[in-house]
Chain A
Amino acid sequence: MTALPLLTRVLRQPPSMAQLGAPEWELLLRQAVATDMGATLALLAEEHGLLQALPAQVRRRLDWERTGWRRHGQAVRFELRQVQHALRTSGLPLILLKGTAYVAAGLPAAAGRLFSDVDILVPKNRLNEVEGLLMAHGWASSHHDAYDQRYYREWMHELPPMQHMRRGTAIDVHHAILPETARVRPDPALLRAGARALPGQPGLFVLAPCDMVLHSAVHLFSEGEYDHGLRDLFDLHRLLCHFGANEPGFWTALPLRARELELTRPLFYALRYCMRVLGTPVPAATVAAAAAGRPNPVLLALMDSLFLRALRPVHPSCAGTLTALSDLMLFIRGNWLRMPPLMLSRHLFQKAFLTPRNVKLDQV
């Protein structure tokens, strides 16, 4: 766990790509592709004017990744128009979350970012109406198991994921950013009230800068699975750098907003690991103010050891002896944060013993 993995070093210092030899490029590409950051690497090389200096074969490989990403962006914008069309009669502002928001707002965090769902935020009392409109336009709930339906509808912060029957595209309809059963539940009305309209795209909104960062932090540091840990941390890094440079008062407002939304702990983790892993330049005053979310030293030492492992590239070259144990502990933690213990034990029992296994079509 000593030296930083190659991909992490390049994300910290993109210009260092220019100095890499051929064998290092191969490793870098493999780490990036396995971490779902191949296109991110391609766009970083382009942004820093390094493409022309790279070996032809590397440039070609990066180009493949960028081509896939360009198509992804097109598909996301097309899908957004479909969602907007489906929900037009509701009169609701279409508040976009996560990757969808980065793409629609044209944020640097969208460069190279791939994701599989469109995420939107609607008021809880309008969920039925939104679900009905989406169904009328071809989306269907993809979780048919009665337990899963109850799990999402009663306890989670989103509808069961819906998939479009013809296009196969997925949409997650959120009414909050944390589950109903979690210990901390930031008020979604505050998030909706602060949402900002996207200039030139009538009807589309994204969360305000601080809220967008906090949502990204909540998402990353309450998760149970860290397949995309480094990628999501890089989102945070780019959001922080971008808003820090372009949004007056951002660094002062961020810890205050975290307190208001009861999200001081995720903010603390976000700043700590962004600075440690990616070298994000965070002003000292913000770091000091965010210390309100600091856990006790024993817990912090444990979290350091877990997160610093989970935030490495997802590639065999970066796995250590404790990676599997660390992943398991984070998985348990993610579920622990999601529900109270009794409910969690019931949930795990249900999932382990009662939920029917996926029945293959040829067995029906």
Chain B
Amino acid sequence: MLTVAALSESALSARLRGPGLRLRTGPFISCIRSSVPALAVALARMYGDYPVLDDDIPADFDVLLRRPRGLRRLVKPQVFFHYDGMEPFQPLPLAQLYPMFEWAMNWCVSSHAHSWLVIHAAVVEKEGAAVILPAPPGSGKSTLCAALVARGWRLLSDELTLVRLDDGRIDPVPRPVSLKNASIDVIRAWAPQAHLSPPVADTMKGTVAHMRPPQASVARADEPASPAWIVFPQWRAGACAELVSVPQARAHLRLAENAFNYSLLGAAGFTTAARLVEATRTFDFSYGALDDAMAVFEGLLAQRR
């Protein structure tokens, strides 16, 4: 199968400038077009292992990142995101091109993919058991996710947990893990072997860098996982690692709050969330150090063996 890494730099740029790069990420195919050279560099760096499809395979999402025309581009370098001719976001400074690409790809899934209950949560798997980490920004969800992935857990996603409506299993959509501010150095120290994209400062989320997913996670993107735990993480400086059981009803409501399409799915959203809570153990998890957190997650695994 053709991958991004197998394309030469010029072949990759030619696709992006011309008919579009048909990139497969988990169950989705995106047709990505851009005349901005930096995007080809970023994709070659972060998406080398991902499958590239032929031009005659229909894409789910049409993503165009372009610079403004005319003199404006000299005065104020910006990048625009277009989706089927629409502009869902405001343009961003050109330096934020790659983070914007990642946000655009998240938006495509979270606002369309209604064959799943789409939860704003990281999800990783080991030994066939998946742990879902839903949380608002700032709770340390992505850091925890990156740390687990660097210690051998399989990445399903760091932002979008896709819960099937029919059998409640989780389809992976592994993409680079978003790290913010202090987390960037934490992960650099935690996993010196990890590949991080160059940090971009002053975005709406502060300084942002992405961690490339392990090749093994990308290769297993077709393999669904069964949910075993839902863990609501909360990082606090100096806190000791502690799991506190969350009652089912409360866990359900919190899932609903963190889902993009819970109410849009109506009864199916409710049933899917209810089944998920039924099938998992649900915890609040506070932690202050990644080492302690790893031990807790390994402990959860050990209880299942």
The main secondary structure of chain A at its interface with chain B is helix
- A187 part of interface (Cβ distance < 8 Å): no
A71/B85 in contact, CB under 8 A: no
Residues of B within 8 A of A282 (CB): none
Interface string of B197-230 (1 = CB under 8 A from A): 0000000000000000000000000000000000
Q: How many residues does chain B have at the interface if contact means C-beta atoms less than 8 Å apart?
A: 20
Tell which of B58, B59, B84, B86 touches A55, judged by Cβ atoms closer than 8 Å.
Answer: B58
- A30-B84, A71-B265 known; A25-B114 Cβ under 8 A: no
Smallest beta-carbon distance B59→chain A, Å: 6
- A30-B84, A34-B85, A316-B85 known; A63-B115 Cβ under 8 A: yes
The main secondary structure of chain B at its interface with chain A is loop
Interface hits, B246-280 → A, CB 8 Å: 263-266
Interface string of B112-133 (1 = CB under 8 A from A): 1111000000000000000000
Tell which of B60, B62, B84, B266 touches A57, judged by Cβ atoms closer than 8 Å.
Answer: B60
- Residue picked from B86, B114, B266, most chain A C-beta under 10 Å: B114
A68/B85 in contact, CB under 8 A: no
- A350 part of interface (Cβ distance < 8 Å): no
Interface string of A18-29 (1 = CB under 8 A from B): 000111011001
Residues of A within 8 A of B166 (CB): none
> In the docked arrangement, what's the CA distance between A29 and B31, Å?
13
B85/A64 in contact, CB under 8 A: no
Q: How many A-B contacts are there with CB distance less than 8 Å? A: 46
- A34-B84, A34-B85, A71-B263 known; A64-B56 Cβ under 8 A: no
- Residue picked from B59, B85, B115, most chain A C-beta under 10 Å: B85
- B71 part of interface (Cβ distance < 8 Å): no
> In the docked arrangement, what's the CA distance between A33 and B112, Å?
11
Smallest beta-carbon distance A330→chain B, Å: 18
Residues of A within 8 A of B31 (CB): 26
B266/A70 in contact, CB under 8 A: yes
Interface string of A29-42 (1 = CB under 8 A from B): 11001100000000
25 inter-chain pairs at a CB distance below 8 angstroms, sorted by A residue, are: A21-B56, A22-B58, A23-B56, A23-B58, A29-B58, A30-B84, A34-B84, A34-B85, A34-B86, A57-B29, A57-B58, A58-B58, A60-B115, A61-B60, A63-B114, A63-B115, A64-B112, A67-B264, A68-B114, A68-B264, A71-B263, A71-B266, A74-B266, A314-B85, A316-B85
